[in-house]
Chains A and B, each alone.
Chain A
Amino acid sequence: MTSEFAVEMRDVVKRFITPEGNEMAAVDHVTMKIRNGEFFSMLGSSGCGKTTSLRMIAGFEWPTEGEVYIEGKAMGHTPPFQRKVNTVFQSYALFQHLTIYQNVAFGLEMENAKEDEIKKRVGRALDMVQLTGMDRRKPKQLSGGQQQRVALARALVKTPDVLLLDEPLGALDLKLRKEMQLELKALQQQLGITFIYVTHDQEEALTMSDRIAVMSKGKVQQMGTPVEVYERPANKFVADFIGESNFLEGKIKSLTRKEASVFIPGLNAEVTGMPISEGLAKGEEVVVSIRPEKVRLVEKGALKMNMFRGKVTNTVYIGADTHIYTEVHGVKLKVLEQNRISRLDPKSFYTVGQDVSLLLMPENTLVLKKD
């Protein structure tokens, strides 16, 4: 390995001409450094530039500006067949006219590998994805999950430095998808190959990734470990996109080196002692963000700091959790409570119209810049 980074995108811009004749930046000054052996995800909704970024690494598109490096080498206009990366396509793109064996062998034939070596490596690849004995079937004779595995085997048999995966589990049903998520992660750790994984499914990204790049409108909004992007979202977009958040608009009233107090006009109160991120100023309009599962509901007791009186407006029972919708002076706050005890007894449950107190623990709240 010549470089610390398996793949690097330096200030990459990709512009397209829309059918109306306008120029649009699908990828807008993106810089990413993906380490060797890392499971790296690009996460975002459709049109955020994640797939275009992946396609530029694969070589199907070339950057308008900036440069893509693979193993430290600038790629320029290197065609896909000369890059040591392989792709698992969203549609699998299995060659329908070839058997499973021929599909997996295709890439090795292109390397002019010897026949007995091809046989050995294809066999091993099919064993790895648990498709032993399926080699003489045609892709259409396999189930969606099996086709997915063939696509994986076909890419991995080439022993690429980097495996690119473009929403590979999108077409599978939920249960199979969850199984495959864990399998993919295990496979990646076992092989030690760098995986670059594109998905719009935040849970998938959180489950598998070492690091995630959250993308929107062609830009990287935040890059970090799953814990970082969930617990310390860089801005309102990330806080909203990953998981759920309650947002309270307000103004910074006081600011120390570590903590901020924000006056929330809606609550007509101050939330104090919150940890701050960089670049905030006193008097600035900000958003206070708190995750539903981090709001504490207290039924009785005196009001303490950061505690507000409210009313339950609705409850939704969804098995493992209960969503409790509350209102504090007209400001809506969602609270999530785990059903640690059986909710069969209605007395153990919140009722609509019930008075409650909500505690926003400062260490669980975030002060974010307004977008």
Chain B
Amino acid sequence: MNPHRRSPLVLVTAFFVYFFLYAPIIALVVYSFNASRANVKFEGFIPSFSERVVTEGSLVKSSPCGPFHWYCDLAKNREVIEAAKNTLTIAFTATTIATIIGTMAALALQRYDFKLKPFSQLSLYIPIVIPEIVMGIGILTLFSQVFGWMNNAFSLSGDSRWTMGLGTVIVSHIAFMVPFVTLVVQARLQGFDKSYEEAAMDLGANEWITFRRVTLPMILPGVLSGALLAFTLSLDDFVITFFTNGPGSTTLPIYVYGLLRRIITPQVNALSTVWILVVLAAVLLLQIVQGRESKQHS
């Protein structure tokens, strides 16, 4: 018997794994073309193009965008655009700052010995293991306390008052991202021989040039993976954002949650589809960049 023959069990397992991974996504995409406004059952694609939107009960009969009706609908939705802008602003800002802090922390933990080092290392896991909702409430309590004191102490009122908003969301995102970045970069640093840095210094590079020309390029794949992980976590985050956002800082997950409480139209599916495409594109881009780099290195 051929020892390499696949057991039917492998095929069955594979089928279920892929089914549960991808079937919901496929359904989601298909439903974004649903003619039914109620979006409970798939009622077929929107059949035709027309000058105006024609509806019949809860069914859309024709639309200027044809089957892409809900995408056009989405593009006209100012709230969605605003939420997308917020989401990206938060993700980019928080990722940049968290990547810098996280990388610095990883380097410090690798090269220095200090008294509280075991505690520092352990404390990295705390934001990862504690329930997000606990962290969210914690951050909310902290912000409202501190803001209360500040507003009182400086007797601020009206627009100059410290309130929840983009700033608080960004800070709280940084807080939960840093440990992820640090752990990913630490994993990369494990195999990093300090003699590379010594060699650079030996050849006349000071500490900063050594970091910029040698250390950073060598650990860059780790830093990028850490940043990407942090970025996707930020795009996705609902719980912490829910507790720390305020007027003008609604993100896409928060917006979708709000929609769901009112009415679910295929617009939500259209939004999710666009979202998936964006994230997919980002991941592919990173893969290409990393692939090119590792090819250069080997």
Contact surface of A with B, Cβ cutoff 8 Å: 58-60, 79-81, 85-87, 89-91, 93-97, 106-107, 110-111, 138, 140, 154-155, 158
Contact = CB atoms under 8 A, between A and B. Distances in A.
B203 interface: yes
Contacts of B203: 81, 86, 106-107, 110, 154-155, 158
Centre residue among A59, A107, A140, A155 by max chain B CB count within 10 A? A107
A97 B217 contact: yes
B48 interface: no
**5 closest Cβ contacts across the A-B interface?**
A110-B204, A107-B203, A93-B199, A93-B195, A80-B201
B127 to A, nearest CB: 30
Contacts of B204: 81, 107, 110-111, 158
Centre residue among B196, B200, B204, B205 by max chain A CB count within 10 A? B204
A7 to B, nearest CB: 15
B261 interface: no
A80 B198 contact: yes
B240 to A, nearest CB: 36
23 contacts: A58-B198, A59-B201, A59-B202, A79-B201, A79-B206, A80-B198, A80-B202, A89-B195, A89-B198, A89-B199, A91-B193, A93-B195, A93-B199, A95-B218, A96-B218, A96-B297, A97-B218, A107-B204, A110-B204, A154-B199, A155-B203, A158-B203, A158-B204
A95 B298 CA distance: 13
A15 to B, nearest CB: 15
B146 interface: no
B17 interface: no
B199 A87 contact: yes
Interface string B71-84: 00000000000000
Interface in B180-237: 193, 195-196, 198-206, 209, 213-214, 217-218
A116 B249 CA distance: 55
A98 to B, nearest CB: 8
B296 interface: yes
A87 B195 CA distance: 10
A155 B202 CA distance: 9
B201 A140 contact: no
Interface of B: 193, 195-196, 198-206, 209, 213-214, 217-218, 296-298
Q: Is the interface of B mostly helix, strand, loop or mixed?
A: helix
A140 B195 contact: no
Contacts, number: 68
B298 A81 contact: no
A64 B200 CA distance: 24
A135 to B, nearest CB: 15
Nearest to A141: B298
Nearest to A60: B198
B192 to A, nearest CB: 11
A81 B297 contact: no
Centre residue among B199, B206, B213 by max chain A CB count within 10 A? B199
B109 to A, nearest CB: 17
Nearest to A160: B202
A111 B203 CA distance: 9
A111 B205 CA distance: 9
A350 B97 CA distance: 79
Contact of B202 (A58, A97, A111): A58
Nearest to A166: B195
A90 B196 CA distance: 11
A110 B200 CA distance: 9
A80 B201 CA distance: 6
Contacts of B218: 95-97
A140 B203 CA distance: 21
B284 to A, nearest CB: 23
Contact of A91 (B195, B201, B213, B296): B195
Contacts of A107: 203-204
Nearest to B209: A110
A144 to B, nearest CB: 16
B198 A87 contact: yes
Given A80-B198, A81-B201, A91-B193, A138 B296 contact: yes
A233 to B, nearest CB: 34
Contacts of B296: 97, 138
Given A97-B296, A154-B199, 14 more contacts: A60-B201, A81-B204, A81-B206, A86-B203, A91-B195, A93-B193, A95-B200, A97-B297, A106-B205, A106-B213, A110-B203, A140-B297, A154-B203, A155-B202
A97 B292 CA distance: 12
A89 B214 CA distance: 16
Contacts of B199: 87, 89, 93-95, 154
Contacts of B298: 140
Nearest to B199: A93
A79 B201 CA distance: 8
